[in-house]
Chain A
Amino acid sequence: MTEHERRVKAEQRERFDFAVIASWIPPGERVLDLGCGDGRLLRYLSETRDVAGYGVEIDDDSVLGCIRNGVDVIQMDIECGLSGFEDKSFDHVIISQALQTMHATEGILNEMLRVADEAVVSFPNFAYRTNRAAIAEGHMPVSEDLPYDWFDTPNVRFFTVADFEDLCTRLGIEIRERLTFDEAGREVTEDPNLNGSLAFYRLGRGS
């Protein structure tokens, strides 16, 4: 694959992720995006869903990117929690493919459901078929949704669909909806822990 093809593919994939998330966000909502990068998801949501969004980001260049993109952003370290954000001050809080890059998994999930009514989480599933095959052959997986070598990965938490759902149960978090997709972007219905490469969740607290 050429660099150009890779980039086009990455962009297509990104749009796909954004579309899945957007499908869960009713128009006009207040949205918080954790680990928002340069703000492109928020921009997409504001253009397609007319949301009022804020991003949270720690990286200098990403914060600068948000400002360039005209996206409201707050530079702070999510690992330290979301103190300052008021309870239930957002309709949705999103963490898109960033939870696996953070250490304070439990704290972040709890904080998300403190500041918003509902959380949207997406992450790469480490138990996906080809990842299992890579491990079986004795190597850490590198795939469409885990595109990093083990020595150069921003990921610090390696978990599966099954692991994540166990943690939700333990934290008393209600799974309201789950969508999983294979590497080709096809929705998976059977055995998502084996057949799903990327997982999306809608989470809440039992009412």
Chain B
Amino acid sequence: MSSENSVGVVASQRVQFAEPLLLKSGAELPGFELVFETYGTLNSEHSNAVLVCHALSGSHHVAGHYADDPENVGWWDNLVGPGKPLDTRKFFVVGVNNLGGCYGSTGPLSINPESGRRYGADFPMVTVEDWVAAQARLADHLGIATWAAVVGGSLGGMQALAWSLQLPERIRHALVIASAPKLSAQNIAFNEVARQAIVSDPDFHGGNYAENGVVPTRGLRLARMVGHITYLSDSQMGEKFGRQLRHGEHKFSYDVDFEVESYLRYQGDKFAKFFDANTYLMMTKALDYFDPAYDYDGNLAAALARARASFLVASFSTDWRFSPARSREIVFALLHNRLHVAYAQIECDAGHDSFLLDDPHYHAVLRAYLENIAV
């Protein structure tokens, strides 16, 4: 990725919403803050705004880098920038850290105004629909009545889909990438293993670890290791690590023998250093609960009848976490409702994580679709 196509130095912004937010669970947040970043310029008609929704561990920092932290490049920098598929010369792009996140928006690490202490375990459960409601407040704040597009991969794709159902008149295009209309039992099972890893860590303290001055690092680390396996494809892991040995021979010990063990430990350690355990628990629950067809006797086509947007749905051949078949469920439910949809099934070896990479065909598909969006 060339620096000349980068949005360059960016700065986060923060906005406070004083109005209480009634959550899907029935709980209420008295008010909340969101951190966000924007790239490009909102045009005079306010018709070129694109919301980028993050997945489980993402943030509002989508593109560019910080002046005081040049190594901290946005998580979708390969996609967003001048001349890139999501072209900031055309679009005004908004990235936001979701409610309950741990990158600065109100979440479990924030101070609960009622108690004067960190929310910790008391932070209410938020759902994909709650995120959409919070993002809508940000749209209001930015003067965006209608998004030209809402874009997301994985859990981010679920938000794009939710936008099209919850506020159909406020979104013209939804780009739903490597996503699913709901989790499978296997998906939920993996999430539950991750959660159990965290809650069974002795440092978890029922979620109030911050009050105790500790972090459930071991649980977070395990949770990330399990998650990471599901983000990669078997073939890619085989190609990357195979059965390569760290020390060139079998050590007959429980230390790192195989390179893949070293890789997973590294990924787990890295993640556990910065991510909040309560946020992780909540994000996985938001994934589990997402099911627009739930109120329609499981009939996704009926659930999608409200949608008015045009869709791009994309999946990846080796993604077994949200397989192409899951994307096709969305596609055929859209078709049932006679909505505009283009569906691309992209050959890519990198499993679920493919959506973050810059496979040339994948990016060509996104570019072609985005170029046709009128602003």
Contact = CB atoms under 8 A, between A and B. Distances in A.
7 contacts: A67-B342, A67-B372, A72-B340, A73-B343, A74-B342, A75-B345, A86-B336
A60 B336 CA distance: 24
A75 B332 contact: no
B365 interface: yes
A55 to B, nearest CB: 9
Interface string B263-290: 0000000000000000000000000000
B372 A75 contact: no
Nearest to A68: B368
Contact of B335 (A64, A71, A85): A85
Interface of B: 312, 328, 331-332, 335-336, 338, 340-347, 361, 364-365, 368-369, 371-372
Nearest to A75: B345
A74 B343 contact: yes
Given A63-B344, A75-B343, A84-B328, A89 B335 contact: yes
A63 B313 CA distance: 12
Ranked nearest first, the 8 interchain pairs of A and B with the lowest CB-CB distance are: A84-B332, A67-B368, A68-B368, A74-B343, A75-B345, A67-B342, A70-B372, A73-B342
Contacts of B331: 74, 84
A75 B361 CA distance: 13
A146 interface: no
A84 B334 CA distance: 11
Nearest to B339: A72
Interface string A169-199: 0000000000000000000000000000000
A75 B338 CA distance: 17
B328 A85 contact: no
Contacts of A71: 342
A85 B335 CA distance: 8
Interface in A13-55: 30, 52, 54
Secondary structure class of chain A's binding surface, majority of residues: mixed
A66 interface: yes
Interface string A86-98: 1001000000000
Contacts of B338: 30, 52
A140 interface: no
B225 to A, nearest CB: 33
Nearest to A30: B338
A95 to B, nearest CB: 18
A72 B364 contact: no
Contact of A76 (B336, B345, B365): B345
A108 B256 CA distance: 53
B302 to A, nearest CB: 13
A63 B365 CA distance: 8
Contact of A54 (B312, B335, B344, B345): B335
Nearest to B325: A84
B365 A67 contact: yes
A68 B345 contact: no
Nearest to A56: B343
Contacts of B340: 72
B372 A76 contact: no
Contacts of A54: 335, 341
A75 B327 CA distance: 11
Nearest to B370: A67
Contact of A67 (B312, B332, B336, B347): B312
Contacts of B341: 54, 72, 74
B328 A64 contact: no
B342 A60 contact: no
B344 A67 contact: yes
Given A67-B342, A76-B345, 12 more contacts: A63-B365, A64-B361, A64-B368, A67-B368, A68-B368, A72-B340, A74-B331, A74-B341, A74-B342, A76-B328, A85-B335, A86-B332
A84 B340 CA distance: 16
B345 A72 contact: no
A105 B77 CA distance: 46
Contacts of B346: 60
A68 B372 contact: yes
Contacts of B312: 67
Contacts of A70: 372
